[in-house]
Structure formats: structure tokens, C-alpha cells
Amino acid sequence: MNNQLKINRRKLFPVLLISLCLAAFSSCVSLLPTYNAQLAEEIVTTNKAVDKFYLTMLEVKTDDNGRSFDKFATQYINIEVELNALLNKNKVRPLNANSTRICEITLQLWVKYKQEHKTKNTLSDGLIQLNRKTFTDLFYAMQVAEKAKDMNMVATP
């Protein structure tokens, strides 16, 4: 019986050692990318540009082609460039699938709504307000996702 106890202790020691090492290692490893203050600021800046874009469009009258696509084409392009930049910055960050997906959805919707405006050559007040709300929600999701990375930094010793 003493021999069995010695054998079990010998088997137990490596298991305990590996468990201890894994526990120590897991406290140092983060499953989220690090917080990026510059990217967080770019999210806010792009959000403001989109909000201003739709608020400006709401102030323009629909008669006399005031909301025709060509009057907003340059702004659509400028914002699409910013959305592409946000997407690319998120793509290259490891462990960043959720933020990348939010950016992909935002860009896809931007392109879709731009094409709808181009096809119809105008947008109603109601559609502008819906589009604006959609993007407000998407940018909020981006901001929360980035803030969670900041909170992860605080929680990790």
C-alpha cells in the first residue's frame, strides 16, 4: 500500500505543477486585444461625421432636388473612406473578431443606403431618421466593444 501511495504522489506532482503553471499563465493572458485610445477616438469622429451628414440632409428640403444624390456623393465617399479605415484597423488586431464584424456590418449598410439614395435620388425624412438611428446604434456597439478592452486592461493584473 505504501508503494501505491508513492506512485500516486509521483503522478500527482507533475499534474499539480502543470495546473499551477496554467493558472499563473492564464492570469497573464488576455483573450481580448488591448485597448486603443486612438481607434476609440476615430470611432467617435466617424460617428460624428455620419450624424452630421444625416442631420444636414434633414435640413435640406426635398423639393427642387435638394436631397439629390449628387449633392451628397462626396460626403458619402468621405465617410466610406473612414469606415474602410476603421474596418482595416480592426482586421489587423488579433482576437478582434467582434469589433471587426461590427465594422463590416456598418460598412455594408453604409454602401447599401448610399446605393438606395443613388437609385431613388432622394430620401424621405423618415428614412433619414431610420438610417441615422441605425448608425447611432452601430457606432455605440463599436464604442462599447472598444471600452470593454479598456476595462479588460484594468481588470488584468
Domain ranges of the chain: 1-30, 33-155
Q: Considering only the top CATH level, what class is 33-155?
A: mainly alpha
Q: Provide mean pLDDT across the span 74-88.
A: 98
Strand, coil or helix: what is 67? coil
123: exposed, middle or buried (C-beta count within 10 Å: 0-12, 13-18, 19+)? buried
Q: Is the pLDDT of residue 2 over 90?
A: no
pLDDT in tens, 122-148: 999 999 999 999 999 999 999 999 999
* More confident site: 31 or 50: 50
What pTM value is reported for the model?
Answer: 0.78
131: exposed, middle or buried (C-beta count within 10 Å: 0-12, 13-18, 19+)? buried
* More confident site: 23 or 146: 146
Helical segments of 60-124, H only? 73-91, 97-120
